[in-house]
Amino acid sequence: MARNAEKDLQQREQRMNDILDAAIEVMAVKGVGSASMQHIAGAAGISIGNLYHYFKSKEEIFAEALRRGQTGYGEFVRSVADGPGDARAKLLTIAENWLALGNSWAHTILIHTARLSEASEELRRDVTGRFTVNLQPVAAIIAQGQAEGTAPEGDPLELAFYFTSLIQGLTLQRMPGSEVPVPMRASSVVDLFAGRREALDRRRDA
Amino acid sequence: MARNAEKDLQQREQRMNDILDAAIEVMAVKGVGSASMQHIAGAAGISIGNLYHYFKSKEEIFAEALRRGQTGYGEFVRSVADGPGDARAKLLTIAENWLALGNSWAHTILIHTARLSEASEELRRDVTGRFTVNLQPVAAIIAQGQAEGTAPEGDPLELAFYFTSLIQGLTLQRMPGSEVPVPMRASSVVDLFAGRREALDRRRDA
Amino acid sequence: MARNAEKDLQQREQRMNDILDAAIEVMAVKGVGSASMQHIAGAAGISIGNLYHYFKSKEEIFAEALRRGQTGYGEFVRSVADGPGDARAKLLTIAENWLALGNSWAHTILIHTARLSEASEELRRDVTGRFTVNLQPVAAIIAQGQAEGTAPEGDPLELAFYFTSLIQGLTLQRMPGSEVPVPMRASSVVDLFAGRREALDRRRDA
Amino acid sequence: MARNAEKDLQQREQRMNDILDAAIEVMAVKGVGSASMQHIAGAAGISIGNLYHYFKSKEEIFAEALRRGQTGYGEFVRSVADGPGDARAKLLTIAENWLALGNSWAHTILIHTARLSEASEELRRDVTGRFTVNLQPVAAIIAQGQAEGTAPEGDPLELAFYFTSLIQGLTLQRMPGSEVPVPMRASSVVDLFAGRREALDRRRDA
DNA sequence: GATGAATGAGCGTTCATTCAT
DNA sequence: AATGAATGAACGCTCATTCAT
């Protein structure tokens, strides 16, 4: 062992993260269809062959990027659900985080791409499974909102499904070159699922 | 002679429609990535060379299919908006039409694909433009709902944008192999934008 | 139908034969390992992409070349078995035909390659099946030789197996660059399976 | 120090043997085409980089494995030739040793592969040279058989060539997945080159 | 000696598009 | 109009070999 095993492992981990970031980056900048191994390798600053020392196929790269993105989102949304604040504030935090450009945008695109592509059955199942799991914290927030009198009636899980689908759907409308000339505001979206108090009041007064 | 020319033109039109149908069909059945010119030609029952007598590129085929699909949807949604009934019934008609599997499903996927792909700037602009135009009738319905007291407050166009994005987002969740195990009901979706009267009444009574 | 269908078919058939010949040629001249699609296409005078209009994979090319070669050999050996002459003369015809350089040599190499390569189970089964079938006429000749008193005792099929294996084994020794400096004479080989009359006589007299 | 150097040398020798064994093993188990440096290193339990401290190329590994195999076979066949027993018993020993599955089988495949591959001129010459040298002891046995009246007439070297080619040819027929459904018995093979006494007697009596 | 990351040419294959008939 | 042969660039991936540690 002339080598530092621990350092090697750290470097390997770092490289894998670089590659995943590069994959997301390429997709976001040059388009999903152009995310070839060639491009990813170039963006990561390594050779094509070396890519295969870290991931054994293109699919694995995307699967891992997806897993990372969905897991991160899952942790985020769970921490929001478990944190302090009323339902409306929580949903607003989630919506704003999602609609803000950056990593989350590219990750959402990745999810859509995985669904649209000829991805393996397994990958699609995994993505759908994590998507479903990540619905739970949102459902909990909706239930909280119903208890607080701000959320509409109905199955909280179903409403969480709609909330998430709406935000994902909106994300697609933000593709560069496809911007719809209509404002997209997190607060307005959240109003649908946890109405602003004054709005409800006014409506109630009517 | 004049009749022959006219007949030729009709035949040509018919062929083009057959090809577009075949393109949508192939995409829906075999997956977006598998919609090669070879497959489209096969599904349309003509040779690959002949395909190029009707459309000068693959992009043109998809652009035309998109145009046709969006135009059809636009006419449908305008006829609904201009027709009789309250806002809730109108939105329900639109949502049910969209969420029902069939042609509309494949067309929605096509729109998403166009946005995600390396499509030309022009194609993306056209798609976005027609999408925006098609928002108007929905906005009119929302405005009607606001007048009727069932729709939430806010810019009708913005709400129409959310309504459409939600339904498109939900469509993606119906990709074969990616079915999320949560019910997806048009009436529940519409409730968000044009609440059921009894629900509002109950809320008001509270 | 602006095209001559029959001529097209003939041309296609001709091209396929050209490609198979080119594949054999490349293998024989440049070595088995160098028989890449690139090389085959070059030898056949067409582009790589066009190769795939005639054969859907490299394996199919080799499978077809094998089938052609084994079928041709089978017909040849059957016609010899059914023809006139004593067993020794028949075996001599077969051995001489095989050991003479030319097409048959390259085909034999192909059979060996198929067995040594990572070829599909199906291909190996087919090759073995045809090999076994082609053993029958040789076995018939051996049986004839036994009736004539020139062939050794034993199961004719087993002896035919040895005869064929011997000749195939010898073929391998003729690879360019591997020539063993020992004479290889069809008549001597045949002597083992259908001894020359005078030799037997002399032995009997001893 | 001197002892350390000697021990180092022994260790190195041992490692080289391990690697050669691993190479043969991989080839026999996973197929010739799958014997990549990666696989060989794995089977030998060392890293791919370390492989190159013992052999400077893949070709050298195979050349050395061939040399070792052929040399071992040469020693074996020479010891048989120089040992006691009649020619028939000696040939039987050789044939049975070869046809029995195990190391010798894989070595034979290696020889064939070397001949079929793009191996260097030098390697092919070496293989052929050793092959030819190894023919001598067999020729001596054949000559002994001729003196004993069991072997057919003819040049002993030529007959040894046929005997060896036959057995090598038969080895090819034993590739897993290519088994020809015909018995393959060493005694029957040997009968062709050193007939069983009783068979000859019967023939003589006829 | 030992490691495995790194390279890059090459592989088999696909596919939108062109063109002679 | 209609055909399908022909092209060639690009794809995902493999692998023998080199090199810094």
Do D37 and D11 contact (CB within 8 A), yes or no?
no
Q: Give the CATH H-level superfamily of domain A62-205.
A: Tetracycline Repressor, domain 2 (1.10.357.10)
pLDDT of residue B204 exceeding 90, the answer is no
Domain ranges in chain B are 1-56, 59-205
Query: Which of A98-102, C120-124, C182-186, D14-18 is least confident?
Result: A98-102
Contact B151, B193 (CB under 8 A): yes
Q: Does chain A reach chain D with at least 3 CB pairs under 8 Å?
A: no
Q: How far is the CA of D44 from the C1' of E5 (A)?
A: 20
Gap from C8 CA to F6 C1', in Å? Answer: 14
Determine contact: A152 vs chain B, CB below 8 A.
yes
The span from the CA of A181 to the CA of A183, in Å, is 7
Q: Provide the token pair at B83.
A: 């027709």
The pLDDT value recorded for residue B123 is: 87
Segment A12-34, tens digit of pLDDT: 999 999 999 999 988 888 877 77
Distance of CA C168 to the CA centre of its chain: 8
Q: Say how far apart CA C180 and CA B75 lie, in whole Å.
A: 83
pLDDT bucket at C71, cuts 50 / 70 / 90: very high
Q: What is the pLDDT of residues C57-68, one digit of tens each?
A: 999 999 999 999
A90-93, long-range: CB < 8 A, 24+ apart = A90/A141, A90/A144, A91/A138, A91/A141, A91/A145, A91/A163, A91/A190, A91/A193, A91/A194, A92/A186, A92/A187, A92/A190
Q: Structure tokens of C37? A: 């699609």
Question: Which chain B residue's Cα is nearest to A166?
Answer: B166
Residues 162 through 201 of chain D touching chain C, CB cutoff 8 Å: 162, 165-170, 172-173, 175, 177-185, 188-189, 191-193, 195, 199
- One digit per residue, pLDDT tens: chain D, 206 residues? 455 778 888 889 999 999 999 999 888 888 778 889 999 999 999 999 999 999 999 999 999 999 999 999 999 999 999 999 999 999 999 999 988 876 677 788 888 778 777 778 888 889 999 999 999 999 999 999 999 999 999 999 999 999 999 999 998 888 777 788 999 999 999 999 998 655 555 555 55
Residue A136 has pLDDT above 50, yes or no: yes
Best to test chain D binding among C99, C110, C192, C204 (most D CBs inside 10 Å): C192
Q: Which residue is nearest to nucleotide E17 (CA to C1')?
A: B57
> For residue A51, which nucleotide's C1' is closest to its Cα?
E6
Distance linking the first and last C-alpha atoms of chain D = 76
Q: Which residues of B touch A127 (CB under 8 A)?
A: 178
Q: How confident is the model at residue C106, as a pLDDT?
A: 79
pLDDT in tens, B143-201: 999 999 999 999 999 999 999 999 999 988 887 777 889 999 999 999 999 986 555 55
Average pLDDT, chain B: 88
Q: Average the pLDDT over C99-110 and give the result.
A: 77
Over residues A166-190, the pLDDT tens digits come to: 999 998 888 777 788 999 999 999 9
What was the pLDDT predicted at D45? 94
What's the confidence (pLDDT) of residue D164? Answer: 96
Q: How far is the CA of C49 from the C1' of F10 (A)?
A: 12
Evaluate whether D103 touches D171 at the Cβ level (below 8 Å).
no
Does residue C127 sit at the D interface (CB-CB below 8 Å)? yes
For chain C, the chains sharing at least 3 beta-carbon pairs closer than 8 angstroms are: D
Contacts of B189 in chain A (CB under 8 A): 162
Residue D5, pLDDT score: 77
Residue D205, pLDDT score:
56
Using one digit for the tens of pLDDT, what is the confidence trace for B106-123? 788 888 878 777 778 888
Q: How confident is the model at residue B32 (pLDDT cuts 50, 70, 90)?
A: confident
**Closest residue (CA to C1') to nucleotide E19 in the complex:** B49
Residue pair B169/B189 in contact (Cβ under 8 Å)? The answer is no
CA distances from B52 to A183, B41, C8 (A): 41, 10, 21
Q: Are the C-beta atoms of residues A174 and B202 closer than 8 Å to each other?
A: no
Whole-angstrom distance, CA of residue B73 vs CA of residue B76: 5
d(C-alpha B2, C-alpha D101), whole Å: 83
Look at residue A203 and tell me whether its pLDDT is greater than 60: no
- Whole-number pLDDT of residue B100: 81
pLDDT band at A138 (very low <50, low <70, confident <90, very high): very high
Residues from chain D that touch C156, judged by Cβ atoms under 8 A, are none
Work out the pLDDT band at C105, boundaries 50, 70, 90: confident
C205 backbone φψ class: left, alpha, beta (φ>0; ψ -120 to 50): alpha
Domain C59-205 sits in CATH 1.10.357.10: yes
More confident residue, A148 or A112: A148
What pLDDT does C202 receive?
53
Residue C137 pLDDT? 98
Q: Which residue of C has its CA nearest to D128?
A: C178
* CATH class for the domain made up of D1-56: mainly alpha
Quick one: pLDDT band at residue B88, thresholds 50, 70, 90?
very high
Residues in CB range of D73: below 8 A, 6 or more apart: D104, D107, D134
Q: Which among B125, B119, B107, B126 has a CA at the least distance from the CA of B168?
A: B107
The distance (Å) linking the CA of D51 with the C1' of F18 is: 13
Instruction: State the pLDDT at residue D94.
Output: 96
- Average pLDDT rounded to a whole number, residues B12-32: 89
pLDDT at A50 over 90: yes
Of all protein residues, which has its CA closest to the C1' atom of F6?
C50
Q: CA nearest A164: which of A198, A130, A197, A195?
A: A130
Residue C1's pLDDT band, with cuts at 50, 70 and 90, is very low
**What average pLDDT score do residues C139-166 get?**
96
> For A95-115, what is the mean pLDDT?
81
Q: Is the pLDDT of residue A3 over 90?
A: no
Does residue C54 carry a pLDDT above 90?
Answer: yes
Residue A158 has pLDDT above 80, yes or no: yes
* Average confidence (pLDDT) over B78-92: 97
Name the more confident of B49 and B100.
B49
Contact call for residues B134 and B144 (beta carbons, < 8 A): no
D132 Cβ contact partners less than 8 Å away, ≥ 6 residues apart = C180, C181, C182
Predicted local distance difference test score (pLDDT) of residue C158:
97
Please state the separation of Cα B46 from the chain's center in Å: 27
Residue with minimal CA–C1' distance to E20 is: C3
Task: Give C-chain residues touching D145 at CB under 8 angstroms.
Answer: none
Residue of chain D with shortest Cα separation from C187:
D154
